[in-house]
Amino acid sequence: MIKSYFKIAGFIVGILIFTGIGLTQIEHTVENDYQDIHLKSKITGVQPMTGIVLWEELKNKDTDAIQLEYSYMRYNDVVKEKGVYDWSVVEQELNSTASRAHQAILRFWDTYPGRESTVPDYIKALPDYHGIVALSEKRETGFPDWSNPEYQRFFLEFYQKFAEKYDKDPRLAFLEVGFGLWSEYHIYDPKEIPGTNFPSLDFQTTFFHHIDTLFQETPWLISEDAHVGSRTPFASQPELLNIDFGIFDDSFHLAWKPGYNYEGWEFFGLKRYERSPTGGEILFPRKERSDFVDSHWAHESRKFGITFMICEQWLRWISIDRLREHSMACGYKFQVTEFTTNKYSAKVTVKNTGVAPIYYDAFITVNGVRSEESLKFLQPGESRQFHVQSGGENPKLTIECDRLVPGQKIEYNADL
């Protein structure tokens, strides 16, 4: 009986050893069965969610030299009665932009020199709301009453409702938020009075924690002017800097030398672009400004990790082809450096040769099958290998992203 047990045990061990060797050989064969795939591809246009931005209201916006359009929005165009939201004006902007295979950058403002505040009328009619009118930029300007509890409540609710409706909307690329003139986080004159014509530091803290919980997909940005300690809570509460928001600078060319603007970028971190987008605006009132920016653009956009920049006046001084070239110097740019397949799968290595990462999920796709890992946050100069459960001798490689509008696609460079 004992001998029989030994014989059976030996037989089983033999099978296991034989099978184990067989499996190892099969795995070894499959692993080394990958064949190099010849692949030629070239990025020919501006990539989605990147580049030079033109205003939605401009006539020259219908061009493939851009992928993004910018619009100012007013709170009181959406809300006139408490709790009643009419998003038709936002829909109009988003649909108009998407009709040109572009995406939108939006910014809501409540204060604009020479205009009334966009605080909803139902709030202005409250007995405890005290509207403020003062000279700003030498023009009579309406300022919100930031001491009013209902305006504070409304402000938080507004972004909650906005996020519920638009956080996953591919027509929207980025959202800019803020306070003060144009929501750029400053008031030149009269001075900022927290809790009166400017939100208190406590409310700002509440707002930033609040908005951080609302947007799961759409990146939002604030002005670099928020670095000033007297107007914001960031200096006194540095933990707020851990929130993933981006930075925009509406006088970006001034950050190219030491001074106030550069100090703002430095305060929020010159590597912030690694986790959140950076952008802004440059005005071009004279050809000298255009020539200066034109000669420094590629270097500075890489230095600051710029994804987008509003430059609606630049076409006064440069050609549309030159604008396209500068647009393509922004954001991510993917290069496929390895593409191998076997019968069942593929290995693809991608390098980001751009100046910033992509901030949405995008997937290496072979024959319609996506990789499990995303290209999101692949940093400039870095590579990442992707495994896809599809292969074959004539595979088709694309990059797919659900955040695009019809007419957009993500291209890649390859010379394999």
Q: How far is CA 25 from the centre of its chain?
A: 47
Same domain, 163 and 258: yes
Residue 32, pLDDT score: 62
Q: What is the pTM of this model?
A: 0.90
pLDDT exceeds 50 at position 14: no
Higher pLDDT, 101 or 58: 101
Structure tokens at 375: 């290209």
**Average pLDDT of the segment spanning 374-400:** 96
Q: pLDDT tens digits, residue range 134-169?
A: 999 889 999 999 999 999 999 999 999 999 999 999
Q: pLDDT tens digits, residue range 181-231?
A: 999 999 988 889 999 999 999 999 999 999 999 999 999 999 999 999 999
Residue 29, CB-side half-sphere exposure with 13 Å CA sphere? 7
Contact yes or no for 199/205 (Cβ under 8 A): no
What distance in Å separates the CA atoms of residue 362 and residue 376, rounded to the nearest whole number?
Answer: 6
Same domain, 291 and 398: no
- 1 is a domain residue: no
* Domain of residue 227, residue span: 51-327
Same domain, 56 and 130: yes
Residue type, 312: E
For 85, the enclosing helix (H) or strand (E) is strand 84-85
Same domain, 128 and 188: yes
Q: pLDDT tens digits, residue range 23-65?
A: 333 344 455 689 999 999 999 999 999 999 998 777 778 899 9
Residue 59, pLDDT score: 75
∠ CA(272), CA(251), CA(296), 5° rounding?
Answer: 80
pLDDT exceeds 80 at position 22: no
Same domain, 289 and 349: no
Q: Among all chains, which residue has been given the structure tokens 């072979």? A: 366
Same domain, 160 and 232: yes
Q: Which of 304, 327, 350 is the last residue of a domain?
A: 327
Same domain, 300 and 407: no
- 32 is a domain residue: no
Q: Which of 327, 360, 389 is the last residue of a domain?
A: 327
Q: pLDDT tens digits, residue range 115-132?
A: 999 999 999 999 999 989
What distance in Å separates the CA atoms of residue 363 and residue 354, rounded to the nearest whole number?
Answer: 17
∠ CA(162), CA(310), CA(76), 5° rounding?
Answer: 35
Q: Which of 312, 327, 342 is the last residue of a domain?
A: 327
What distance in Å separates the CA atoms of residue 381 and residue 390, rounded to the nearest whole number?
Answer: 27
Q: pLDDT tens digits, residue range 322-347?
A: 999 999 999 999 999 999 999 999 99
CATH number of domain containing 230: 3.20.20
- In terms of Cα–Cα distance, which of 165, 275, 276 is closest to 214? 165
How many domains does one find in the chain?
A: 2
**Average pLDDT of the segment spanning 365-372:** 96
Same domain, 350 and 314: no
Point out which residues pair with 415 in neighbouring strands: 40
- 22 is a domain residue: no
